[in-house]
Chain A
Amino acid sequence: QVQLKESGPGLVQPSQTLSLTCTVSGFSLTSYNVHWVRQPPGKGLEWMGRMRYNGDTSYNSALKSRLSISRDTSKNQVFLKMNSLQTDDTGTYYCTRDRLPYNNWDNWFAYWGQGTLVTVSS
């Protein structure tokens, strides 16, 4: 079945770089788009960016200067890197998958990982 699982450090120091990995199973990264969405504690959801099935990326303009998304299809992994972290980057980071394959228009998040909590603190 479809699974996504985020992994990475739980604690990051201010001004440092966050590196997260999303390991997927049950589908191919060359068929489905994978997104990163984050949620500050007790707050709402923010779309961060997308790795498209063909390898293209799209980013939230509010984060674009700090954010990079890449992938390794042989390992079924999508990576997030974000630099210059501050305390308001604290939150749960999710990777999610689109509902449909080869998707260019149906931008709904049908499958989610369990999320990984990242705390930015010295």
Chain B
Amino acid sequence: DIQMTQSPASLSASLGETVTIQCRASEDIYSGLAWYQQKPGKSPQLLIYGASSLQDGVPSRFSGSGSGTQYSLKISSMQTEDEGVYFCQQGLKYPYTFGAGTKLELK
């Protein structure tokens, strides 16, 4: 199975701050990566797919980049509503696997 390693496990950011979350795959996943946001008690929400494509309705302050085994999610200006847990997911090979999550809090 492809292992997905996220860092950091948690972080706190001030309003307006730029936030970056990293995700590393155990092998090349050829941009087959998605990012999800999950708020407490809610289902995950797709933010980014194909490493860098923004899902419909997602604010443009979210962006994704990367290739090969290294990927990142950037929030250009932290907002209150961005608090939550962020997961990366590889969609290249069965079984589709997720990172352990990064908990983002407002400082």
Q: Given B34, B36, B98, B101, which contacts A46 in the complex, CB threshold below 8 Å?
A: B98
Cβ contact within 8 Å between A44 and B32: no
Look across to chain A and name the residue whose beta carbon is closest to the beta carbon of B56: A110
Secondary structure class of chain B's binding surface, majority of residues: loop
Cβ contact within 8 Å between B46 and A99: yes
Cβ contact within 8 Å between B43 and A108: no
Q: Which residues of B contact A115 (CB under 8 A)?
A: 43
Size category of the A interface is: 20 to 34
Q: Please tell me if A61 contacts chain B, counting CB pairs below 8 Å.
A: yes
CA distance A109 to B101 in the complex (A): 16
Chain A window 13-41, contacts with chain B (Cβ cutoff 8 Å), 1 for yes, 0 for no: 00000000000000000000001000000
Count CB-based A-B contacts (< 8 Å): 56
Question: For residues 90 through 105 of chain B, which have their beta carbon under 8 Å from a beta carbon of chain A?
Answer: 91-92, 94-101
Q: Please tell me if A7 contacts chain B, counting CB pairs below 8 Å.
A: no
Q: Which residues of B contact A61 (CB under 8 A)?
A: 1, 94-95
B42, chain A: closest CB distance, angstroms: 8
CA distance A99 to B95 in the complex (A): 18
CA distance A58 to B97 in the complex (A): 14
Cβ contact within 8 Å between B34 and A108: yes
Q: Please tell me if B71 contacts chain A, counting CB pairs below 8 Å.
A: no
Q: Which residues of B contact A54 (CB under 8 A)?
A: none
Q: Give me the interface of B with A, judged by CB distance under 8 Å.
A: 1, 32, 34, 36, 43-46, 49-50, 55, 87, 89, 91-92, 94-101
Q: Give me the interface of A with B, judged by CB distance under 8 Å.
A: 35, 43-47, 58, 60-62, 94, 99, 106-110, 112-115
